[in-house]
Amino acid sequence: MSSKNRAQELQARYGNNVTSTQVNEYIAEVGIRYSTIAKQLKKYKVPNTKGQWNLASLASQRQALEDTFVASPSTTPQTCATLKTEQGVVQNLVPMKDAEFVPFGNFNDVKKVLRSKQFYPMFITGLSGNGKTYSVEQACAQLNRELIRVNITIETDEDDLIGGFRLVDGDTVWHNGPVIEALEKGAVLLLDEVDLASNKVLCLQSILEGKGVFLKKIGRYVRPSAGFTVIATANTKGKGSDDGRFVGTNVLNEAFLERFALTFEQEYPTVATETKILEKASASLAVLDKEFCSHLANWADIIRRTFNDGGVDEVISTRRLVHIVRAFAIWNDRMKAIKVCTNRFDDETKQSFLELYDKIDADVVPNEVKDEQTV
């Protein structure tokens, strides 16, 4: 073990000030010589003393390392501000408020739980693109709550979540994972797309009970700070996707799911609410077209009802409607905006969606006619 790692291990056990009594206790346990420890701790020895070492400099070294560490995009909130202080740049983990946000669905319930600052794990399920993650971010923004988001995949393991050692300048240095950061900060931990996870997420069991976690690699127990809680989002209820719609989702361990006290089912917004969402999005792009927004919301509602009845295999999400509005801001062409945003569907489905919109919007000019006019 390197000198730095040895010092870090002693610091984790005894704090910054280590005495010879503690060193003797340590060597009796690990089975090494006192002279070996003394040599490794030489640069930390307190001057003019016998058997005393000060390891405080390790904390500043570790902080400097963490300050230079660039966090993975999957563990960093995508909508957060940056604070500048006299000490330098500090990341603010409170999401930014979005003026375009329109609350709907379970937003007020989620916000009420977060405002209480109770530890109360929540599981939010619903079809893709209906605002599950966005609503959590905006609830935290309005409450000034720190949020740490982790995008879960089948590859996510304990090191990704809890933390692990990283090789820096020839030494292995411990780095906290997003879960430990959230625990220590009393932040909201968001496990996004949790139904893509493998059983490796079972390392979170004690955390989901509000008991903290023991970091066995460095011998330290981390207790949750006040306000810490966990929210998971998923397209399924953790039972897999029987219709194959959400490929890659897994059947989650029942004991894992049982630890989420609350489950919210997020539906798509009503026509009136969705129209308001689209109007705000288009207004921000300086292309407000209230009629187009209303037509889009009604169009999507008909498709969703048909989907629920088994008439079509695809659905138009709120997210896709916002994409259409943005495309309209570029081309100023209603039908082209819809077409380029529905090309991902198979030809039969896309054509049926375009024909439906043509019936709803009497003013729209089909692309075929426009092509003839430009010849």
Tens of pLDDT, residues 118-155: 999 999 999 999 999 999 999 999 999 999 999 999 99
User: Is residue 45 located within the same domain as residue 192?
Assistant: no
The per-residue pLDDT for 129 is 94
* Mode of pairing for the β-strands spanning 122-125 and 147-151: unpaired
Domain final residue pick, 265, 289, 309: 265
257 and 150 within one domain: yes
Cα separation of 150 and 156, whole Å? Answer: 10
The answer, yes or no, to whether residue 88 has pLDDT greater than 70, is: no
Domain co-membership, 150 together with 247: yes
The DSSP bridge partners found for residue 173 are 166
Average pLDDT (85-111) is: 82
Considering the domain architecture, whether residues 182 and 100 belong to the same structural domain is answered as: yes
Write out the E strands in 25-141: 52-54, 80-85, 88-95, 122-125
Residues 172 and 213 in one domain: yes
Across residues 151-165, what is the average pLDDT?
94
Per-residue burial over 77-91, b = 16 or more CB atoms within 10 Å of its CB, e = otherwise: bebbeeeeeeeeeee
In the prediction, which pLDDT does 374 show? Answer: 47
The Cα 102–Cα 100 span in angstroms is: 6
Per the prediction, the chain carries an average pLDDT of 86
Among the ranges given (175-184, 245-254, 359-368), the one the predictor scored with the smallest mean pLDDT: 359-368
**Does 81 score more than 90 pLDDT?**
no
Domain CATH code at residue 259: 3.40.50.300
Query: Helix, strand, or coil here: 83?
Result: strand
Handedness of CA 140, 142, 145, 148 (dihedral sign): positive
What are the residues facing 95 on neighbouring strands? Answer: 80
Of 10-19, 83-92, 274-283, which gets the smallest average pLDDT? 83-92
Amino acid 170: pLDDT: 81
For residues 303 and 290, the answer to whether their CB atoms sit within 8 Å is no
Q: Can you tell me the mean pLDDT for 59-88?
A: 46
**Residue 41 domain boundaries:** 3-60
What is the pLDDT at residue 60?
55
- Alpha carbon distance 195, 44 (integer Å): 48
pLDDT number for residue 80: 58
Q: Tell whether the model's pLDDT for residue 87 goes beyond 60.
A: no
Residue of 9 and 79 predicted with greater confidence: 9
30, 24 Cβ separation under 8 angstroms: no
**Which of 17-31, 193-207, 283-297, 334-348 has the lowest average pLDDT?**
17-31
Domain check: are 168 and 295 in the same one?
Answer: no
Residue 375 binned pLDDT confidence (cut-offs 50, 70, 90): very low
* Whether residue 168 is found in the same domain as residue 235: yes
Domain boundary among 214, 244, 265: 265
Distance CA 316, CA 348 (A): 15
**Rounded Cα distance, 230 and 147, in Å:** 10
* Domain shared by 165 and 289, yes or no: no
- Tell me the mean pLDDT in the region 39-57: 85
Indicate the helix (H) or strand (E) that contains 229. strand 229-234
Residue 73, pLDDT score: 37
The answer on 20 and 155 residing in a single domain is no
Global pTM reads: 0.75
Q: Quote the pLDDT of residue 15.
A: 83
Q: Closest by alpha carbon to 334, among 291, 292, 304, 272?
A: 292
Same-domain check for residues 248 and 337: no
Indicate the number of domains in the chain.
3
- Residue pair 361/354 in contact (Cβ under 8 Å)? The answer is no
Q: Tell me the two tokens of residue 5.
A: 């790692």
**Highest mean pLDDT pick, 69-73, 209-213, 296-300:** 296-300
Same domain? For 89 and 191 the reply is yes
Angle at 352 between CA 347 and CA 353, to 5 degrees: 100
At 222, phi and psi to the nearest 5? Answer: -110, 120
Give the residue carrying structure tokens 């989702």.
249
55 and 142 share one domain: no
Nearest C-alpha neighbor of 53 from the set 67, 61, 65, 41: 41
